[in-house]
Amino acid sequence: MEYVELNTKQKMPALGIGTWKSKKGEVGKAVKIALETGYRHIDCAYAYENEDEIGEILKETFDQGKIKREDIWITSKLWNIFHDPKDVQPICEKTIKDLQCGYLDLYLMHCPVCFEKRENLELFPRKDENTMSTVNIPLIETWHAMEKLVELGLVKSIGISNFTKEKIEEIYEKAKIKPVINQVENHPYLQQEELCQYCRKNGIQITAYSPLGTSDSKKEEDPSLLQDPVINEIAKKHNVSSAQILIKWQIQRGNTVIPKAVKPEHIKDNFDCQNIKLTEEDMKQIATLDRHFRFLNPLNFWNIDMYGEANKK
């Protein structure tokens, strides 16, 4: 297992398993198989509505003494309706309780946008059919509340997700604790080299989400990374799957990466990517595939321009 060292000196496993859209009744089994396969990093979130089932498996694993808590990296995320500083600690505690893990290795602000918090805690409160109901809470206020979680020992480190350079600048200078991670969409069609370099320069590690092209949320007309001829050709040359090439490419670029899988054969296939070594020529060829294409753009489903200028590049 490869690890990357963060600005906190924590060692984070470069490969983790994603759990978004992993359904109830499936997610627990998937995490169990992942742990048995050798994964030591699980990417969770309140908004995935499955943390309780993951928690059952974690408890069972720790009770059996097979794997110790400190041997697993657990990430979760603060959902957009909980940006009010007074909500941050209670909702983080709920996640820790659901995951039955005692503390989190990493807690991310899920998005640089705050939604209205309604009594029924609906995750996606809408103003009308096409528009989310947002509230203006400065990101730095939420960030300061997240810093307290570190001081309280609830989380080891804090980070951000879906932040552009401009959004990072809104918090960076005033932050007492600098973000350790920016978790963003990243794959050969959206390489975000400029953002990756900016983050690295500022001690922020990139975690790549949707590294396989998010087939659970992909639209019919979207391009398919897993069927890309260049990726397929490189996979054929190494006698491995295209998914393995896409995941290993992230690790070789220095990113951490969290492919989601519930099928046992996918979970194992993705883990085995660690045995591959891409050549310089492979890396160069993959670099040519960038087309600034987002599979997940909030402009399309929330009517929120979360990426501003970065959307236009």
User: Which of 158, 243, 304, 306 touches ligand NAP (CB under 6 A)?
Assistant: 243
Q: Considering the complex, state which of residue 215 and residue 252 has its C-beta at the smaller distance from ligand NAP.
A: 215
Retrieve residue 32's tokens: 């169990």
Contacts with 146 (C-beta within 8 Å, 6 or more apart), sequence order: 78, 88, 107, 109, 155, 158
157 binds ligand NAP (CB under 6 A): no
Q: Considering the complex, state which of residue 188 and residue 282 has its C-beta at the smaller distance from ligand NAP.
A: 188
Query: Site mask, ligand NAP, residues 190-219, x = CB under 6 A?
Result: -------------------xxxxxxxxx--
Phi and psi, residue 184, nearest 5°: -135, 160
Q: Is 83 flagged in the annotation as binding? A: no
Q: Considering the complex, state which of residue 15 and residue 64 has its C-beta at the smaller distance from ligand NAP.
A: 15
- Which parts of 74-93 interact with ligand NAP (CB under 6 A)? none
Cα Rg of the chain (Å, integer): 19
| Size of residue set near ligand NAP by CB under 6 A | 31
Query: Site mask, ligand NAP, residues 5-44, x = CB under 6 A?
Result: -------------xxxx---------------------x-
261 binds ligand NAP (CB under 6 A): yes
Catalytic residue among 39, 46, 48, 189: 48
The full DSSP string for 174-193 is T-SS--SEEEEE-BTTB--H
Candidates 95-103, 120-128, 137-145, 258-266 — which segment interacts with ligand NAP by CB under 6 A?
258-266
Kindly report the number of other CB atoms within 10 A of residue 213's CB atom: 25
- Contacts for 100-104: CB closer than 8 Å, 24+ residues apart: 100/55, 100/56, 100/58, 100/59, 100/62, 101/55, 101/58, 101/69, 101/72, 101/74, 102/69, 103/153, 103/154, 103/155, 103/156, 104/74, 104/75, 104/76, 104/154, 104/155, 104/156
Dihedral sign from CA coordinates of 251, 14, 267, 161: negative
- State yes or no: is 107 an active-site residue: no
CB of 65 to ligand NAP, least distance (A): 27
- Which parts of 222-241 interact with ligand NAP (CB under 6 A)? 226, 241
Query: Site mask, ligand NAP, residues 288-307, x = CB under 6 A?
Result: --------x-----------
Retrieve residue 253's tokens: 């670029």
Contacts with 233 (C-beta within 8 Å, 6 or more apart), sequence order: none
d(C-alpha 172, C-alpha 140), whole Å: 9
CB of 218 to ligand NAP, least distance (A): 8
Binding residues: 110
Catalytic residues: 48
Question: By the criterion CB under 6 A, which residues form the site for ligand NAP?
Answer: 18-21, 43, 110, 161-162, 183, 209-217, 226, 241, 243, 258-263, 266, 269-270, 296
Binding residues for substrate: 110
